Structure 1
Amino acid sequence: MNITKLAENYSVSPQIAVQDIATIKEMGFDGIVCNRPNGEEPGQPLFDELMLEAANQGIDIVAIPMNGPEVTMPMVEQFNQFMQQHQRVFAFCRTGNRSSIIWKAALAVN
C-alpha cells in the first residue's frame, strides 16, 4: 500500500485489497473510509467484502462513495461524524485523491 499521512489521525491510499485490512488494523487504525463506488473498475473488491473482513478484524468501516471530486454537505457531515468516533482513520479510493478532497472539505467547514 502506498499510504499518505495527511494528519496525525488521518491517512489515505489508493485502492486496498481485502487482505490489507489486517495490516491497516496492525498499523493502529480503528476506522476505514471507502470513498469509491462499487464497480468503479474491474477487479476492485466490493464494499461488502471489505466490510466482512473489517468485521472479522474488529475495525469499523464506512462507505462514503464519491463520483469525481464533488463533495456534498451530507458527505462531509458523515465523514466528520466518523472521524469524531475514531482515533485514527484510514481512507481510500481508486487513487487516494477523493479521500484527500473530502478531508480538506471537512477541514473547511470545521
Structure 2
Amino acid sequence: MDIRKIDDTISVTPQISYGDVAEAARLGFKTLVANRPDQEEFGQPSMADIEAAARENGMTWVYMPVQSGNVTDADVDRFGEMIRNSEKPVLAFCRTGTRCTILWSLNAVRTTPAQEVFSKASNAGYDMSGLAPRMAQQAANRE
C-alpha cells in the first residue's frame, strides 16, 4: 500500500486490496473512502469486499465513486461534506490516488490559499498545477 499523507485529516492511496484494510486500520485510519467506481477496471477488487473489510476492522466506509477525468462541482461538494463530517484521519483511494487528490484540492482551496493546497498535494506526490484555473473558480466560492 502506497499511502500518501496530504495533511493530518486525509491521506490518499492507489487501489487497495481486501488485505490492505486491516493495515490501514492498524495505522489509525478511522474512515475509508472509495472514489473509484466498482468494476471500473477488470480484476479490480470488489467494493463490497473492501466495505466488509472496513466494517470488520472498525472503520467507517464511504463509497463515493467519481468518474475518472470527470470530477464535477457536485462531487467536490460531496467530498468536502464527507471530510467535514467523517471521523479522522481519512484514507481515500482510487486507481492511482490522483482523483482523490483532485477532489481534496478543489474542496480545500475554498478555505485554504491555493499555494498551500498545491504544496500539500505536491508533497504527497501529486501535481495539481493543471487544476489552477478550476481551483481559482473554487476559491471564489470560499466558505
Q: TM-score, normalised by structure 2?
A: 0.71
Q: Compare 96-105 and 61-70 and name the one that shifted more.
A: 61-70
Task: Mark the structure with the bigger radius of gyration.
Answer: 2
Q: Structure with the greater relative contact order (CA < 8 A, sep ≥ 6): 1 or 2?
A: 1
Distance of 2:27 and 2:65 partners within structure 1: 24
Q: Deviation above 4 Å: which 4+ runs of structure 1?
A: none
Residue 88 of structure 1: aligned partner: 89
Structure 1 pair 72/109, CA: closer, same or farther in 2 (3 Å)?
Answer: farther
Higher strand share: 1
Tell me, which stretches of 5 or more residues in structure 2 are unaligned?
Answer: 112-143
Specify the SS of the correspondent of 2:104.
helix
Residue 20 of structure 1: aligned partner: 20
Tell me, which stretches of 5 or more residues in structure 1 are unaligned?
Answer: none
Distance of 2:9 and 2:41 partners within structure 1: 28
CA RMSD between the two structures: 1.3
| Aligned 1:1-110 pairs, distance under 5 A | 1-84=1-84, 85-110=86-111
Higher helix share: 2
Q: TM-score, normalised by structure 1?
A: 0.91
Percent identity for Structure 1 against Structure 2: 35
